Structure 1
Amino acid sequence: MDVMAAANAREADGRRVIHMEVGQPGAPAPRAVLDEAQSALGHGRFGYTEAKGMPILREAISAHYGRAYGVDVPAERIVATTGSSAGFNLAFLAAFDAGDRVALTTPGYPAYRNILSALGLEAVEIEVGPETRWALTPELLEAAHREKPLKGVLVASPANPTGTMMTPDALKALAQACEYLGIWFISDEIYHGLVFAGEQETALRYSDKAIIINSFSKYYCMTGWRIGWMILPEMLLRPVERLAQSLYISAPYVSQIAAVKAFSATNELEAVKQGYAENRATLLEKLPRIGFDELLPVDGAFYVYASVRRFSNDSHDFATRMLQETGIAATPGADFDHNRGHRYMRFSFAGNHQDMVDAMDLLSDWLK
């Protein structure tokens, strides 16, 4: 967000910026979503909904799991949230007590760590690397649990910042390890739908005790609508419902109504995804030629996580100079990984294709 603020200041001065720093789609919400929202606005009155969300939305999400994964998810186990961010807060508050230890992978999304800390929980960061294809394994989890007991683990697949995805077998093994160890497994699946290599799978297939967090923000292009969902084991449903009532009453009425239509916009959304695929191919072809020859596997999401070691040992300084001298805004890795992030950058390829081509040309000229 600091990089985005600097980029916005540059744009305010009339200079061009190519935005590769923020993890949000470059496309608008689907037409059917916009039409449904406009229709709802015509009625003029928006009230609170059930804390768990409107039945019509929860039923639509339930049907989606049947179509996409062949998994039967009762609508009663689904909770609509104000984006995935609220889902993490609700999951952490319902599943853990102050002082509990929750495992995360590093590199990883920094908000996990920050939310846990704010709630009085301990984030236990487990380094992953190429030897495990940048994924958490049961062996790494069990070793951390032996050192001092864990109460939960949170895994994202595809992951932010790396875009790397766990194989179904790896996800199954981790989910089963959590059941064996008696710890909560929280699966962040917000980049599902945006998969370019490999097979995506929901952790629900392997464990009814898994806590699933998903969102309309990424694949469905609805970041600012602040609407997401959780799928919960029955024992957490009532605690989460009470917490939601107290924290925000309900997710936004209009966003819930409109989100139902997102599931009928597949053709439009797949066209957006095809644009990401073209951007991904451009970056994977050109970044190594420029000298970024150490890239993590880009299975999904819309990020390339690349080492800058050939050019700098300080990715924050590198990002600052790159923005100032080329107009390319990208995210340094320090927040994603405290120990190794100074050597990495995250490039988002969610923008338009010409911007991606121009960025690679500018970067190549700058680093010659």
Structure 2
Amino acid sequence: MSSDAIQPFYAMEILARAQALEAQGREVCHLEIGEPGGRPAPRVLAAVADCLERPMGYTSAKGMPELRQRLARYYAEQHGVELSPERIMVTMGSSSGFILSFLAGFGPGARIAVTRPGYPAYLNILASLNLASVEIPVSPANGWRLTVGDIEAAHARAPFDGLLLASPANPTGAVLAREDLAAIIACCDRLGVRFISDEIYHNLNYVGGDASALEFSDGHIVINSFSKYYCMTGWRIGWLVMPEDLIRRAEMMAQSLFISASSVSQYAALAALDARADYDARRDEYATNRLILAEGLQALGFKAAQPADGAFYAYVDASAFTNDTMDFCFRMLDSAGVAATPGIDFDRTDGHKYVRFSYAGTRETIERGLERLGAFLKA
């Protein structure tokens, strides 16, 4: 592994700097991290309060049976898929889900393809596990969407063993149409590539419904989380759906790597699955924020700032103002008190001219951030 394979997670570096400024008494508009600004649903908090009245010990490494059964019902209700709870594993957020997927699904030295731009932790986790990565570039010309042609061309240049893809995507918010996801999975099957579907932004879609990889195949991996739609980032709770040939191996690894996910968080997650009305209302607030942010960024002169289809990000071209968005973002934070993430976090090659803004917070934060950003650009 090369010394520069693992790089900082710059969204977290910006957050740390913002929190240091806040400790000095500064007010910061947080548009840097994908963290919902609202609280979990009331029934989730009530479920956690109930946990205080009884012992909270380990669960099985795969998670509480009742939570796995409820997750299986979720796939029946949302995607029309009949799924055995035995294929479901509750994880410590999606992060441990990625680790288990890579370790259980691939041998030493395997090559995993990801999109560029993409979630920075993908490359860092792969490098930490001494697995190789292959980046497939996507562009705004195609709405930042990966195509079958992209996959075939990349595989012909340098064959890979797995493909990890998110829809909706971070940082671009790109959403794959159902038929496009089906075509990509069929392509992976033809090439003998294990597909890993990152579905942690499911239910944050402003143009239609989300398709799950489970609708098209039983032989691939699905990763999901309660962090985003369910507003439970700090609770560190997520889940995996594994093919039958991998689930036992993943379970044995989890027994030693993690023992089990938090029992309290598992009870909270179980309650969250029955509180979708609360979270759909929250999504409607994001939809409003999405339009306010896009309109404001376009008015300020950012390019490629049209509203994305999903997630809660705007990944915009800042080349009208800088060719070094790392410096730009730190200056914007220090001078204007607006925190955003430099594009180099998501694209180590071309990200120097992009910035990601999150609209997961409140409308007031976004409007105040845009006002401050406008003053910063005029200074």
Aligned to 1:170: 180
**Aligned equivalent of 1:158:** 168
Match of 1:232 in 2: 242
Q: Is the 8 A contact 1:164 1:297 kept in 2?
A: no
Which of 15, 24, 31 is matched with 2:26 structurally?
15
| Distance (whole Å) between structure 1 residues aligned to residue 183 and residue 150 of structure 2 | 12
Correspondence 1:121 to 2:131: yes
Distance in 1, matches of 2:260 and 2:183, equals: 35
Alignment of 1:209-224 (within 5 A): 209-224=219-234
What count of residue pairs does the alignment treat as equivalent?
Answer: 367
Question: 3-state DSSP class of the match of 2:344?
Answer: coil
Gaps of 5+ in 1: none
Task: Name the structure 2 match of 1:41.
Answer: 52
Q: In 2, Cα distance between the equivalents of 1:333 and 1:87?
A: 25
Asked if 1:293 corresponds to 2:303, the answer is yes
Deviations 1:238-263 (A, max 9, x none): 10010100101111111111211101
User: What's the offset of the Cα at 1:83?
Assistant: 0.6
Cα shift at 1:297 = 5.3
**2:145 counterpart SS class:** coil
What pairs up with 1:1-368 in 2 under 5 angstroms?
1-43=12-54, 45-295=55-305, 298-368=308-378
Ranges in structure 2 where 5+ consecutive residues have no aligned partner: 1-11
Q: Which amino acid in 2 is paired with 1:260? A: L
Residue 296 of structure 1: CA displacement? 6.1
Give the C-alpha shift of residue 166 in structure 1: 1.0
**Mapped contact 1:167–1:199 kept (Cα < 8 A):** no
Q: TM-score, normalised by structure 1?
A: 0.97
Runs of 4+ in 1 over 4 A off after TM superposition: none
Residue equivalent to 2:7: none
Tell me how far apart the structure 2 counterparts of residues 132 and 361 of structure 1 sit (CA, whole Å). Answer: 31
Distance 1:2 1:294 in 2: 25
Match of 2:20, SS state, is helix
Q: Assess if the C-alpha contact under 8 Å between 2:88 and 2:242 holds in 1.
A: yes
Cα displacement (A) at 1:132: 3.1
Structure 1 residues 95 and 333 mapped into 2: Cα distance closer, same or farther (>3 Å)? same
Given residue 264 of structure 2, which amino acid in structure 1 is its aligned partner?
V
SS at structure 2 position matched to 1:105: strand
C-alpha distance in 1, partners of 2:159/2:296? 45
| CA shift for structure 1 position 295 | 2.5
1:16 Cα offset (Å): 1.0
Query: Over aligned residues, Cα RMSD in angstroms?
Result: 1.1
CA contact (8 A) 1:162 1:296 kept: no
Secondary structure in 1 aligned to 2:89?
Answer: strand
Letter in 2 for 1:235: D
How far apart, in 2, do the equivalents of 1:297 and 1:149 lie? 34
Identity in percent: 50
- Tell whether the 8 Å contact from 1:312 to 1:343 is kept in structure 2 after alignment: yes
